[in-house]
Amino acid sequence: MELLNTYEDKDEAEAAEKRITGKKRLASDRDDNEIIYRLFGEPTWGNFYQLEMYELRELKELVDLKKAGQPYDEAKHQSILNGLQFLESSYSLKIPGHWR
C-alpha cells in the first residue's frame, strides 16, 4: 500500500476510501490543531480514476473523442500524458497504449 492522497475533511476522506478497491487504510494524524487524513491503498489507474486525480476523467473524455474521430484538444491530451509519466516512475505503472 502507498499513500494515495491526503484530506482535511473526515467525511471526504471516508467517501474516498469507499470508492477505491483493493487493500486500503485511512489514517489520521494531528498537525497542530488540525487533523489530516491520509488514504493508503493500491496505486492503480482505477483507484486514481475513482479518486478523480491526475485529470484521468478528462483524459478518458479526450481518448473517447479521439477514438470516435471527433475533434479533441490534442495539446491537453499530450499534457495529461506527460503528467502521468511521473506516476509511471513513482508507482511502477505503465500508461496503457490505448490512452495515447
Mean pLDDT of 42-57: 97
Domain boundaries, the chain: 1-52, 54-93
User: Rounded CA gap, 33 and 30, in Å?
Assistant: 7
Binning the chain into helix, strand and coil, the percentages to the nearest 5 are 50, 20, 30
| Confidence band for 97, pLDDT divided at 50, 70 and 90 | very high
Look up the pTM and report it. 0.89
Write the pLDDT tens digit of every residue in 1-47.
999 999 999 999 999 999 999 999 999 999 788 999 999 999 999 99
Segment (H or E) for 29: strand 24-31
pLDDT for the residue 1:
93
Say if residue 86 is exposed, middle or buried (CB neighbours under 10 Å; 0-12, 13-18, 19+).
exposed
pLDDT for the residue 32:
81
User: Rounded CA gap, 30 and 14, in Å?
Assistant: 17
Beta-carbon count within 10 A of 96 CB: 9
Write the pLDDT tens digit of every residue in 69-91.
999 999 999 999 999 998 998 99
